[in-house]
Amino acid sequence: MAQKAAPSPEPAPAKDDPLVLIVDDDAGMREAVVDLLQSVGIEGRAFGSTAELLAAAVPDRPGCLILDVRLPGLGGLEFQTRLDSLGIALPIVFMTGFADVPMSVRAMKAGATDFLIKPFRDQDMLDAVDAALARDRSRRSQRAATMTVESLAATLTPREREVMAEVVKGRLNKQIAGDLGISEVTVKLHRGKVMRKMQVRSVADLVRKVEVLDHEE
Amino acid sequence: MAQKAAPSPEPAPAKDDPLVLIVDDDAGMREAVVDLLQSVGIEGRAFGSTAELLAAAVPDRPGCLILDVRLPGLGGLEFQTRLDSLGIALPIVFMTGFADVPMSVRAMKAGATDFLIKPFRDQDMLDAVDAALARDRSRRSQRAATMTVESLAATLTPREREVMAEVVKGRLNKQIAGDLGISEVTVKLHRGKVMRKMQVRSVADLVRKVEVLDHEE
DNA sequence: CCGCAAGTCATACCTTGGTTTGCTTGGAAG
DNA sequence: CTTCCAAGCAAACCAAGGTATGACTTGCGG
């Protein structure tokens, strides 16, 4: 209802409330799912095809996808692969009226959160969406942490990065100086700058921050 | 074939070669799968029921399970849950002649590696087993690393453990002394012992070793 | 050409980390 | 009751980490 309404007394859709994207070629089903979600206070936005979804300006909010497997144009499973190669890791709940086991297994192996058969029980869909949203929240917080560290690391000069790498390896200033062919004082200088720029006070904290960095890439 | 043979010139089954456990109530299927695996040099051991498998003394070797879903006594899916609660994390490949989508989805959500429909193509089974074995190898090496660190940590005295925890948090000796209500010298003493017992030379290494510890538990 | 950022070095000084030696205490195992 | 060990303290000492201050070079963009 309050899709584009002016400031109202109703609970405004906050920027971080989950948004569920639904793609199904059956308008009735689309509406049913949106209504179902709305009944538990979750905003849904429906599309008739994957192309429509890709064309739309989807806000960056926590959420998930509900896909019909059989779709006009790009099918659900192909779309899943496509999103993956685009680096979009939105959790996916599949739903379909015509499915066989290999199809569902393929989807699950590719990372789908759930795979429901129409007609499904309302509660099953809500449970699946819950699980998908939980997964996305966890992914997003993980991602946010990584990006924070990345932005800090981006302010480092090349030399500082080298020194940081050695510090994290546990090398002594003396050794670092030898490896890089510079004096120990200079190493201490870079090291100090690294600690400040990375906003840590101890080597332990630095190690942990850097860990999350190369853990994800 | 060479199930209990005396020492022979043939390639003896090495302790770390993979062992695939098959459970199916159809003797023909059991034999077929064992033969298929043998054709690519993988040892298989077959059972007619989950009870039989549980009763048997299965050697601790890298491997995976191939389970029929429909089994006498405990069914495949229940068995999966059961193993999980027993802490046995062997990758599972399901196979079945009678399956529906919800069943396969349930199995995949519970962590199954694959879910094949009989009759399956030989290559599909071999691919599934390959994936399962890869998963188990990775899990085992991860587990081995954790256990190594655990055994090192087991030699620590309670006090040393406390000190280690603080060191990993990046606290100074001074602060640790204050927190634990002891003198700074004593902290240094414990700290030195921790470094030796954990077989690390730098705080950075210590942090990494301890990380793997509470990452898995 | 000037200014600025990155990188380098030295000296000096202080803090923190780490080891050794020697001694004490309390509890558990023998 | 003795032995062993975790746990603790002190003094003294050396190594390593960390912070100025000041000064020099190089390369790049305005």
Q: What is the CATH number of the domain that holds B185?
A: 1.10.10.10
Give yes or no for B2 touching A (CB within 8 A).
Answer: no
Residues across chain B: 217
Q: How confident is the model over B186-213, as pLDDT tens digits?
A: 999 999 999 999 999 999 999 999 998 8
B118 belongs to a structural domain: yes
Give yes or no for B185 touching A (CB within 8 A).
Answer: no
Distant-in-sequence, close-in-space partners of B171: CB < 8 Å, separation ≥ 6: A202, B179
Q: How many distinct structural domains can be found in chain A?
A: 2
Same domain, A24 and A94: yes
Neighbours of B11 (CB within 10 A): 9
Q: What is the band of B35 on the pLDDT scale with cuts at 50, 70, 90?
A: very high
Closest CA to B90 of B114, B64, B128: B64
Contacts 24+ apart (CB under 8 A), B25-29: B25/B49, B25/B68, B25/B70, B25/B71, B25/B72, B26/B68, B29/B68, B29/B118
- Please report which residue ranges of chain A form alpha helices under DSSP H: 27-39, 50-55, 76-85, 101-109, 122-153, 158-169, 173-180, 184-197, 203-216
Same domain, B189 and B129: no
Nucleotide nearest to B203 (CA to C1'): C17
Is B105 within 8 Å of A108 when comparing Cβ atoms? Answer: yes
Q: How confident is the model over A104-145, as pLDDT tens digits?
A: 999 999 999 999 999 999 999 999 999 999 999 999 999 999
Answer yes or no: pTM beyond 0.75: yes
Nucleotides of D under 7 A from a protein CB: 5-12, 16-21
Task: Confirm whether any atom of chain D, the nucleic acid strand, is less than 7 Å from CB of A188.
Answer: yes
- Over B118-183, what HEC string results? CCCCHHHHHHHHHHHHHHHHHHHHHHHHHHHHHHHHHCCCHHHHHHHHHHHHCCCHHHHHHHHCCC
Distance CA A21, CA A30 (A): 10
Q: Side chain identity at B144, as an amino acid letter? A: A
Decide: helix, strand or coil at residue B114. strand
A14 belongs to a structural domain: no
Identify the helix (H) or strand (E) that includes residue A90.
Answer: none
Same domain, A126 and A186: no
Task: Confirm whether any atom of chain D, the nucleic acid strand, is less than 7 Å from CB of B191.
Answer: no
Same domain, B97 and B188: no
Q: Side chain identity at A92, as an amino acid letter? A: I
B180 belongs to a structural domain: yes
Same domain, B118 and B165: no
Compare CB distances from B169 to A99, A171, A204 and report the shortest one's residue.
A204
Same domain, A25 and A131: yes
Neighbours of A52 (CB within 10 A): 13
A26 belongs to a structural domain: yes
Decide: helix, strand or coil at residue B89. coil
Distance CA B189, CA B207 (A): 19
Which residues of chain B neighbour A108 with C-beta distances below 8 Å? 104-105, 108-109
Distance CA A23, CA A14 (A): 23
Which residues of chain B neighbour A101 with C-beta distances below 8 Å? 99-101, 103-104, 115, 117
Q: How confident is the model over B68-113, as pLDDT tens digits?
A: 998 877 788 999 999 999 999 999 999 999 889 999 999 999 999 9
Same domain, A23 and A110: yes
Same domain, B26 and B133: yes
Same domain, B138 and B162: no
Q: What is the band of B15 on the pLDDT scale with cuts at 50, 70, 90?
A: confident
User: What average pLDDT does chain A have?
Assistant: 91
Residues 149-188 of chain A within 7 A of strand C, judged by CB, are 157-160, 177, 180-183, 185-186
Give yes or no for A207 touching B (CB within 8 A).
Answer: yes
Last residue of a domain, one of A143, A172, A199: A143
A27 belongs to a structural domain: yes
A10 belongs to a structural domain: no
B109 belongs to a structural domain: yes
Same domain, B25 and B87: yes
Last residue of a domain, one of A121, A143, A165: A143
User: Could you give phi then psi for residue B40, rounded to 5 degrees?
Assistant: -115, 15
How far is residue B3 from each of residues A113, B35, B127, B174, measured CA to CA in Å? 42, 13, 25, 63
Same domain, B130 and B184: no
Q: How confident is the model over A150-192, as pLDDT tens digits?
A: 999 999 999 999 999 999 999 999 999 999 999 999 999 999 9
Which residues of chain B neighbour A200 with C-beta distances below 8 Å? 170
A31 belongs to a structural domain: yes
Structural domain of B88? 19-142
Looking up residue B68, the CATH number of its domain turns out to be: 3.40.50.2300
Last residue of a domain, one of A117, A143, A169: A143
User: What average pLDDT does chain B have?
Assistant: 90
Distant-in-sequence, close-in-space partners of B32: CB < 8 Å, separation ≥ 6: none
Same domain, A51 and A122: yes
Q: Side chain identity at B87, as an amino acid letter? A: G
Q: Side chain identity at A117, as an amino acid letter? A: I
